[in-house]
Amino acid sequence: MAREQVVASLDIGNSTVRCVISVISPDQKDPHIVGIGEAESLGIRDGMVSSIEEVVSNINTAVENAERMSGLAVHHVYIGTSGSHIETTPSRGVIAVSTQEISEADVERVIEAAQNAPIGRNSHILRIIPKSFSIDDQEDIQNPLGMSGIRLEVDAHVISGNVSILKNLERSAHQASIDVNDIIPAPLASAESVLTRRQKELGVVAIDIGSSSTSVTVYEEGSLVHTAIVPIGGASVTKDIAIGLRTSIDAAEKLKTEYGTNIVDEVPEDEEIDLEKISKIDSHIVSRKHLSEIIQARYYEILMLVKEELKLVGRDGVLPGGATLSGGGSKMPGTLELSREVLSIPVQVGYPQGVQGMLDQIEDPSYATAVGLILWGIHNSSIDSGSRGELSFDFGAITKMIGDFFKKLLP
């Protein structure tokens, strides 16, 4: 008999570890969020695990906070991994069709054949996402199931991550006594929670400005077109402020989040900030105009690099669904306006959607990845086995790598 199931996620970011616990009931479509927890992420540097001990301790804190709020215990999680170690490689798979009609098994086989992508020696495939299929000489087929032909080909995106980073994340979760259902690239998870089906059909880019990097994920006609990581995020903005205004990193972070803006013109020339008010070790006075100029210069660079990625796939300025901005870095005032100017498309905040409960707390673009991990997990695997504790992160499972391809075809 169907029953309630607990699905949890851990977004192990470069600045924050976030845990979200949800409950899925058989009579409700959307997962119900019942607990969230956060911890400062001190064991990850530029996407790499710099201290397993720290990561374990940060995971424990985030999970305990979410458990306390929900009154539920977390035994399994979907983990999100972010940063420049995530790579997307185009790949092609070809097979001979075994019967007259193309079956699910044939589609699985051809996607499996696309595993032969030229990925790095230390990379592990996390997802294979089909772009389109060809049957004999007929190209651009979205769903080949039931069609007839002799040769089936697929054009796919192979998304991979660095093996030692993935293993260290899994090890950290195990040391925190948590099993890993799956490790999911954070850019895909984030896009999953902020984009609507309609936007994905029209053509849209989900931009997640994190701490160490900014992810760019483009969808069109319902399919993934491009995903890339720009290796600059909010931490670079903070560093620029510390250098430019000669402050400590802590004071720079406070200046950024409490006084920062991307709209330089709105800041009066003579507005000053006394660092003594926000810092124990800094005591000089800085110009808020200068602060905003430093911030805007770095955000402009990030957005220009996003624009380059869109140019690369011929989608610069031509995405009718516009752009969404998520991640903590998107909370800088004026970022929507600056993005509209640089990208020349409509831009809106990427709030996590598709869930119920605790909406006040998760109506925050920083939660896009953690909420998206839950949605991605639900859409991509048999949750039933997760709740009985039978799923474990399997480095070879092709069905997980293929993800929700078959589910996407359902009406």
Enumerate binding residues for ligand ATP (CB under 6 A): 13-16, 41, 82-83, 210-213, 233-235, 238, 253, 256-257, 260, 327-329, 331-332, 366
Q: Which does 14 bind (CB under 5 to 8 A by kind): Mg ion, ligand ATP, none?
A: ligand ATP
Least separation in angstroms between CB 290 and ligand ATP: 17
Least separation in angstroms between CB 213 and ligand ATP: 5
Q: How many beta carbons lie within 10 A of that of residue 264, not counting itself?
A: 18
How many whole angstroms separate alpha carbon 210 and alpha carbon 216?
11
The CB-nearest residue to Mg ion is 210
**Closer CB to Mg ion, 47 or 210, in the complex:** 210
**Residue 13 binds to Mg ion (criterion: CB under 5 A):** yes
**Residue 334 binds to Mg ion (criterion: CB under 5 A):** no
Least separation in angstroms between CB 211 and ligand ATP: 4
DSSP state of 367: G
How many whole angstroms separate alpha carbon 233 and alpha carbon 208?
9
How many whole angstroms separate alpha carbon 147 and alpha carbon 335?
47
Alpha helices in 313-382 (DSSP H): 335-343, 359-362, 368-380
Instruction: Let me know: does 381 contact 76? Beta carbons within 8 Å.
Output: no
Least separation in angstroms between CB 327 and Mg ion: 6
Least separation in angstroms between CB 22 and ligand ATP: 19
Map tokens 């970022």 to a residue: 335
CA angle 202, 205, 207 (to 5 degrees): 155
Binding to Mg ion, residues 356-375 (CB under 5 A): 369
CA dihedral 195, 377, 306, 39 (to 10 degrees): 110
Closest CA to 379 of 170, 189, 195, 108: 189
CA 32 to chain CA mean position, Å? 20
Least separation in angstroms between CB 210 and Mg ion: 4
**Closer CB to ligand ATP, 367 or 405, in the complex:** 367
**Closer CB to ligand ATP, 42 or 147, in the complex:** 42
**Residue 81 binds to Mg ion (criterion: CB under 5 A):** no
**Closer CB to Mg ion, 218 or 229, in the complex:** 229
**Closer CB to ligand ATP, 218 or 229, in the complex:** 229
* DSSP secondary structure of 170-194: HHHHHHTT-EEEEEEEHHHHHHHHH
**Closer CB to ligand ATP, 75 or 289, in the complex:** 289
* DSSP secondary structure of 247-281: --HHHHHHHHHHH--S-GGGS-TT-EEEGGGT-SS
**Closer CB to Mg ion, 329 or 354, in the complex:** 329
Q: Is 231 exposed, middle or buried (0-12, 13-18, 19+ CB in 10 A)?
A: middle
**Closer CB to ligand ATP, 8 or 39, in the complex:** 39
Q: Which does 144 bind (CB under 5 to 8 A by kind): Mg ion, ligand ATP, none?
A: none
Radius of gyration from C-alpha coordinates of the chain: 22
Least separation in angstroms between CB 55 and ligand ATP: 12
List of residues 6+ apart from 283 with CB closer than 8 A: 275, 276
Instruction: Let me know: does 306 contact 343? Beta carbons within 8 Å.
Output: yes
Least separation in angstroms between CB 235 and ligand ATP: 5
Instruction: Let me know: does 350 contact 206? Beta carbons within 8 Å.
Output: yes
**Closer CB to Mg ion, 149 or 329, in the complex:** 329
Binding track over 82-101 against Mg ion, x by CB under 5 A = x-------------------
Least separation in angstroms between CB 55 and Mg ion: 15
How many whole angstroms separate alpha carbon 31 and alpha carbon 36?
14
Binding to Mg ion, residues 194-253 (CB under 5 A): 210
Q: What residue ranges bind Mg ion (CB under 5 A)?
A: 13, 82, 210, 369
